[in-house]
Amino acid sequence: MISTLLNAYGLIVFAACVFFFFITVSNILWLMHTLTIERKKNGPSVAVLIPARNEALRIRPCIDSLLSQDYKSYQIYVIDDNSDDETWNILKSYMIRFPSKFKAFKAEPLPENWYGKPHALQELATHVKENYLLCTDADTIHKPDSISKAMAAAEKYKADLITGYAHHLMPTFAEAAIVPSMYILTMLGMPLYLIPNTKSPLFSHAIGQFMLFKRSFFEKIGGYEKVKHEATEDVRLSRIIKENGGKIAFIDLKDIVECRMYTTYKEAIQGIAKNAYDYLGKNLLILFSGTVAVPLVFYVPLIVLFIDVPWLGQAIPYLKASAIITFYSWVLETIDRRLPWYVPFIYPLIFVNTMSALWRGFHLVNKEGGIEWRGRKVK
């Protein structure tokens, strides 16, 4: 009986890892396909919307990169979300230097039941008249063809939302040990090629660093109103778009946008805690199940690969194969996303940090009233 159960365990883990490998490869191929899209330098007008809260150290490279776009018809709009640093003074200097291309506004005090970023973007959208809205973060840096590539993708896929993975910079070991967790979803179960090819909201995903909306559809769904109190407003909004019959294309942006999301280990853990726990729907059962599943699927096979565990019997070959397959999944992901070369060798640590961040999110939301982020509490 025990032998049969162990054999079944080995087979299940092997099948799961083969499935994850297939998802990883198929998503890489899809993202490679989207890199072939031709640029579109002329077309409908685009409003670039940037929320900025205490971004004095990072806002200049972002604005400078956006001022150098090769797309013909676009304007840049930035909103100072109640910063207490030099952000507003920096924005005023750009308005003086580039009056025809750049405008900045000060956000109203944050209303009750709104989180900062959704409110800032919703308020900023009321000031623009362009046909498309490109919502991007103040810590992004754009290549000159950023807008033209996104607009070409919007036309090719007839999409109401274009979003995707930027090139995420991770110059330190601490960042490399946690930031790649953002790719785990699309390595384990989200087929990106199904996002533009199905109507189901289950197949929807978005990254708030870069979201290009068709303005007419953005207004149809009420903009950020329905996600005003969501930590993962980007993902929630993508689901709402599909629920309302919209179309989304998730593409590879690594050649046109780069971003360093966090600069310290503590900041990275806090950021992942805020986003990942909310993405799970704050569901304790899912969190507990994941905590049990991760060691069984990823750690036990790795232990068996290097240490003789004879009592596992017939499961051993399947578990060893599973560990090898998982390693190569991370190798491929590392090559595709241009991650630090050593990421495949530390993927167990990435899982440890991810689960730690999830449980930290659970604790902070349920015990301390929310997660501190940019001077505000997020539940």
Residue 236 sits in the same domain as residue 361: no
Q: Where does a domain end: 263, 285, 307?
A: 263
Show Cβ contacts of residue 168 under 8 Å, excluding neighbours closer than 6 positions.
Answer: 179, 182, 258, 259, 260, 261, 337
Residue 280 sits in the same domain as residue 374: yes
**Residues of the chain with confidence (pLDDT) below 70:** none
Residue 151 sits in the same domain as residue 194: yes
CATH number at residue 104: 3.90.550.10
Residue 236 sits in the same domain as residue 301: no
Residue 248 sits in the same domain as residue 316: no
Q: Where does a domain end: 263, 295, 310?
A: 263
**CA pseudo-torsion sign 264, 265, 266, 268:** positive
Dump the DSSP string for 80-98: E-S-SSSHHHHHHHHHHH-
Structurally, the chain folds into a number of domains equal to 2
Residue 89 sits in the same domain as residue 221: yes
The pLDDT of residue 377 is 77
Within the chain, where are the H helices?
2-34, 59-67, 87-97, 116-125, 146-157, 173-176, 184-188, 215-220, 233-243, 265-279, 284-294, 300-306, 315-337, 347-367
Give the integer Cα–Cα distance in Å for 137 and 51. Answer: 7
- Determine contact, residues 20/330, Cβ cutoff 8 Å: no
Count Cβ neighbours within 10 Å for each residue of 174-188 and write b for 16 or more, e otherwise: bbbbbbbbbbbebbe
The pLDDT of residue 376 is 81
Question: Domain range for residue 274?
Answer: 2-28+267-378
Residue among 294, 272, 236 at smallest CA distance from 378: 272
Residue 354 sits in the same domain as residue 307: yes
Residue 24 sits in the same domain as residue 53: no
Residue 236 sits in the same domain as residue 313: no
- Determine contact, residues 301/323, Cβ cutoff 8 Å: yes
**Per the structure block, which two tokens stand in for 253?**
């942006």
The pLDDT of residue 264 is 87
Q: What is the pTM of this model?
A: 0.95
Give the integer Cα–Cα distance in Å for 109 and 90. Answer: 20
Residue among 221, 260, 219, 262 at smallest CA distance from 240: 221
Residue 209 sits in the same domain as residue 224: yes
Model confidence pLDDT, tens digit, residues 82-122: 999 999 999 999 999 999 999 999 998 999 889 999 999 99
Residue 325 sits in the same domain as residue 339: yes
Is 66 strand, coil or helix?
A: helix
Residue 24 sits in the same domain as residue 37: no
Q: Where does a domain end: 263, 288, 309?
A: 263
